[in-house]
Amino acid sequence: MHGGLHGRLHGGLHCGSVVVNARVELPARAASVAVDGRPVFGWDVGGAHVKVSMLGDRGNVADVAQWACPLWQGLDFLDRTLDLVFERWPRARETDAVHAVTMTGEMVDLFEDRAHGVDAIARALAARLRGPLRFYAGDAGWLDADACRDGWQRVASANWLATAHCVASRLADAVLIDIGSTTTDLVPVEQARVVATGHTDAARLASGELVYHGVVRTPLCGLAHRVVFDGVETNVMNEWFATTADVYRLTGELDPVHDLYPAADNGPKTLLASRARLARMIGRDAHEADVQAWLEFARRWRAVQRDTLAANLASVTGAHPRLADAPLVGAGCGRFLVEALARETRRDYVDFGELAGVPAQCASWAATCAPGVAVALLAARDAAAFA
């Protein structure tokens, strides 16, 4: 995640409703309670967005929000996001508020390396959050900010694991697929255990459990070097002319509330402008073909991305025969592709928002911001760690 993106980036996005398509019978959800009656905030600090959930007095998810935060441009963006969090939830700044944090932001090229990134993010949060603050470290439990310096490897990019553990507490067998703006996680859950092959980004990239593309920020030249247009296969220009957001604007699948970052050319996010950016990828102008031709071209890019995800899903489930027909749990703003994969592979689909028992008005945002919701729920379960 590098500094080539530009723009203004601080609109907050909050709870919305969605029709959830769940085709399996869910087990009863274990009740959770707030930590000694105190408010609980779950944080997912990424390189491009900060996602936060708040639990109510009974341990239920009461609100979820997301802010664009281009961390590669400086830690001051995280500081500004904290101001916005406090503006939305004044209780987050109080001394009795509990804060559970996971992160992927340590990967941005602002930091010398991941160890420095984890430490810098932990210290930045500790300087502003006054209540009990712990960082999710997987099987190692919860670390305070000081312990993150030595335990950084457990904390770094562990947000997928938090979501997966939340899924494993509710479904015995499943494959979690979290498709965000930038990355995709594919996590096998077998017999109520997370059975991922790798735990670092490097190992997960090698195993197919991490695919570094999403539905908003990914340059199209990162998806394929050749693509079909108007029945002819052609080379793709290896330039940052268009992103996946252009594709899903044209197909109508990208909700504008998730389209927070500037377009590749800093131009408008209209259908016309998106067609022009797609045309540049193959050395053309938008006026050289009609609207339907560019829609078909967008669908071709969608098929390329879907096929890549399907191949990685096959690789992940190939290592776990028990999961051959296990349901897919969809999370992230690109989970519409998870639903498509479920249909194509004849699997059941479960939305993370419903699986986590989130009220309807927040279910869509809970699924979009799944790691932030998961760490809050895990913190409520592990209340002793925040005493």
The DSSP line for 362-385 is: HHHHHHHTHHHHHHHHHHHHTGGG
Domain of residue 299, CATH code: 3.30.420.190
Q: Are residues 133 and 50 in the same domain?
A: yes
Could you tell me if residue 318 is inside a domain?
no
Scored b (16 or more CB within 10 A) or e, 208-229 reads bbbbebbbbbbbbbebbeebbb
Inter-residue contact 305 to 213 (CB < 8 Å): yes
Q: Are residues 149 and 244 in the same domain?
A: no
Q: Are residues 279 and 373 in the same domain?
A: no
pLDDT of residue 175: 98
Could you tell me if residue 245 is inside a domain?
yes
Q: Are residues 90 and 226 in the same domain?
A: no
Q: Are residues 246 and 378 in the same domain?
A: no
Inter-residue contact 85 to 92 (CB < 8 Å): yes
pLDDT of residue 15: 62
CA–CA dist 363, 370 (Å, integer):
10
Could you tell me if residue 261 is inside a domain?
yes
Domain of residue 361, CATH code: 3.30.420.40
Q: Which amino acid is at 140?
A: A
Tokens of 110: 């602002």
DSSP structural state of residue 266: S
R_g of the chain, CA atoms, integer Å? 20
pLDDT of residue 16: 37
Could you tell me if residue 118 is inside a domain?
yes
Q: Are residues 26 and 149 in the same domain?
A: yes
Instruction: Give the strand pairing for 349-351 and 328-331.
Output: parallel
Q: Which domain holds residue 44?
A: 12-163+357-386
* CB proximity list for 226: less than 8 A, separation 6 or greater: 233, 234, 235, 236
pLDDT of residue 216: 97
pLDDT of residue 6: 29
CA–CA dist 260, 333 (Å, integer):
12
Residue with tokens 């252009």: 246
φ and ψ of 61, to 5 deg: -75, 115
CA–CA dist 96, 132 (Å, integer):
7
pLDDT of residue 17: 27
CA–CA dist 71, 50 (Å, integer):
9
Instruction: Give the strand pairing for 226-229 and 349-351.
Output: unpaired
DSSP structural state of residue 75: T
Q: Are residues 22 and 126 in the same domain?
A: yes
Could you tell me if residue 315 is inside a domain?
no
Could you tell me if residue 94 is inside a domain?
yes
* End-of-domain residue from the set 264, 285, 306: 306
CA–CA dist 121, 71 (Å, integer):
10
Helices and strands (H, E) in the chain, number of each type: 12, 15
CA–CA dist 308, 317 (Å, integer):
14
Helix (H) or strand (E) holding 86, with range, is: helix 76-88
CA–CA dist 252, 135 (Å, integer):
37
Number of domains present in the structure of the chain: 2
Instruction: Give the bridge partners for 61, in sequence order.
Output: 55
Other C-beta atoms lying within 10 Å of the C-beta of residue 267: 13
Q: Are residues 137 and 224 in the same domain?
A: no
pLDDT of residue 384: 85
Inter-residue contact 139 to 147 (CB < 8 Å): no
Q: Are residues 151 and 38 in the same domain?
A: yes
Could you tell me if residue 140 is inside a domain?
yes
* End-of-domain residue from the set 270, 285, 306: 306
* End-of-domain residue from the set 306, 321, 346: 306
pLDDT of residue 35: 65
List the chain pLDDT tens, one digit each, 387 residues: 333 332 333 334 446 322 222 223 333 333 334 567 789 999 999 999 999 999 987 788 999 999 999 999 999 999 999 999 999 999 999 999 999 999 999 999 999 999 999 999 999 999 999 999 999 999 999 999 999 999 999 999 999 999 999 999 999 999 999 999 999 999 999 999 999 999 999 999 999 999 999 999 999 999 999 999 999 999 999 999 999 999 999 999 999 999 999 999 999 999 999 999 999 999 999 999 999 999 999 999 999 999 999 999 999 999 999 999 999 999 999 999 999 999 999 999 999 999 999 988 899 999 999 999 999 999 999 988 888
Identify the CA nearest to 275 among candidates 176, 233, 267, 320: 267
DSSP structural state of residue 182: S
pLDDT of residue 372: 98
Inter-residue contact 27 to 171 (CB < 8 Å): yes
Q: Are residues 40 and 99 in the same domain?
A: yes
Q: Are residues 37 and 121 in the same domain?
A: yes
Dihedral angle sign, alpha carbons of residues 374, 165, 34, 44: negative
